[in-house]
Amino acid sequence: MLTWLLLAVGCVGDDSAKQEDCNGGEALCDQEEPDDTGGSDDSAAPDDSAAPDDCTAEAERCDGVDNDCDGAVDEDATDATTWYIDADGDGHGDSADARVACAQPDGTVAAAADCDDGDPEVHPGAAERCDGADDDCDGAVDEAEAGGSAPCPDGGDPSPSHPADVLDLTNWKITLPVASSDDPASPREVLQPELDTFTLAPYFHLADSGEGVVFRANAGGVTTSGSSYPRSELREMTDGGAEKASWSTTSGVHAMTITQAIHHLPEVKQHVVAGQIHDAGDDVVMIRLEGEHLFVEGGGEELGDLDPSYTLGEEFTVRFVVEDGQIDVYFNDLSTPVVRVPSDTTGCYFKAGAYTQSNTDRGDAADAYGEVEIRDLVVTHE
């Protein structure tokens, strides 16, 4: 027993001592000494992001480690943050459109409760305006602001914020000179109920005065299949905007009154149509400006003068009245028609806005445009 202990002690010294003292203890002296790391030299460092063989499953946390031993890191973490899509960039997200993640996804914010994520001026903490809407998302409309300012006057008209606040667009749709998301070769159309709160500057928006709606169509805009010219133009509908209007010039009485101003013409071909009656196949009558000449056109022919020296920006009123196979066109003085057009056709409907009669093939630049402002628009059928 004493001899064995002496041999074991001799194994602890330097190499020469080991060779000298361990003659009888080769089995002990031949054992490999452990390295400084506590493992063999060729062992790999553990991967913190992957679960080790002896992983003990715990709740997943946002710590870059596979806590629940399923091979994934930070998924469904118990301490993950809820983020909200902020489509209008006002710093407040839509509570109905949430993402749960450890890291903040692009286009999201931590604050929710935006009651209109399409309008950057509407969000919690925004200034309340006299506009008939809940601008600060507190559930109340046009109430006094937190700073103590008075609420909107009882019975007062709220300030307009969309074109539909100025014009009754219940029975209209609009065609725009921009591409449809479904078909880039076709123009975008906006129908009810979207049209009630729709605006798209510079093509369709409130005038700076708040008293009119601006329609703009650029020469390089997307066109409809039946025309080579771009438009920002309303088309008459029925049933609250659900169906296309279609009536006859020989049955009933149909009228449209437009108060408007033409603000801008393309540089090369200075032609714009500002209102029309269309039938199932083609235009029937149009209000057209060419340079300074404002007149009624139909079927490619001039049907009568309205103003031979029109000045851009000048307000005027046009009224169409269709009855018993005849179209009467009134200009400013609505007591006497200035143009009378016989017409026997069906599938008719009214149109109003800016129908620019030029394109890049006519020599105009793509951003050359026609622009019309409509300040009042009334349609009746009897």
Residue pLDDT tens, the chain, 382 long:
434 333 334 434 444 444 444 444 444 444 444 444 444 444 444 444 455 567 888 888 898 888 889 888 888 888 888 889 998 888 898 888 888 889 888 989 888 889 998 888 888 888 877 777 888 888 887 776 544 455 665 555 567 889 999 999 999 999 999 999 889 999 999 999 999 999 999 999 999 999 999 999 999 999 998 899 999 999 999 999 999 999 999 999 999 999 999 999 999 999 999 999 999 999 999 999 999 999 999 989 999 999 999 999 999 999 999 999 999 999 998 899 999 999 999 999 999 999 999 999 999 999 999 999 999 999 999 9
Model's pTM, two decimal places?
Answer: 0.62
Q: What is the pLDDT of residue 144?
A: 63
250, 344 in Cβ contact below 8 A? yes
Q: Which of 68, 114, 70 is nearest to 90 (CA)?
A: 114
Question: How far, in Å, CA of 7 to CA of 16, rounded?
Answer: 14
Question: How far, in Å, CA of 282 to CA of 48, rounded?
Answer: 73
Q: Which of 6, 22, 23 is nearest to 14 (CA)?
A: 22
pLDDT tens, residue by residue, 257-279: 999 999 999 999 999 999 999 99
Question: How far, in Å, CA of 202 to CA of 81, rounded?
Answer: 39
Task: Give the C-alpha distances (Å, rounded to integers) separating 7 from 15, 16, 33.
Answer: 14, 14, 17
Question: How far, in Å, CA of 101 to CA of 376, rounded?
Answer: 51
Neighbours of 204 (CB within 10 A): 26
Question: How far, in Å, CA of 259 to CA of 261, rounded?
Answer: 7
Which residue(s) pair with 352 in the sheet?
234, 275
Q: Is the peptide bond before 105 cis (omega within 30 degrees of 0)?
A: no
321, 328 in Cβ contact below 8 A? yes
Q: What is the pLDDT of residue 128?
A: 79
Q: What is the pLDDT of residue 45?
A: 43
Neighbours of 67 (CB within 10 A): 21
Which residue(s) pair with 215 in the sheet?
204, 372
pLDDT tens, residue by residue, 321-347: 999 999 999 999 889 999 999 999 999
Neighbours of 138 (CB within 10 A): 15
Question: How far, in Å, CA of 40 to CA of 367, rounded?
Answer: 74
Question: How far, in Å, CA of 200 to CA of 179, rounded?
Answer: 13
Residue whose pair of structure tokens reads 């080579």 in the numeric block: 228
Which residue(s) pair with 364 in the sheet?
none
Token pair of 221 as six digits: 């805009």
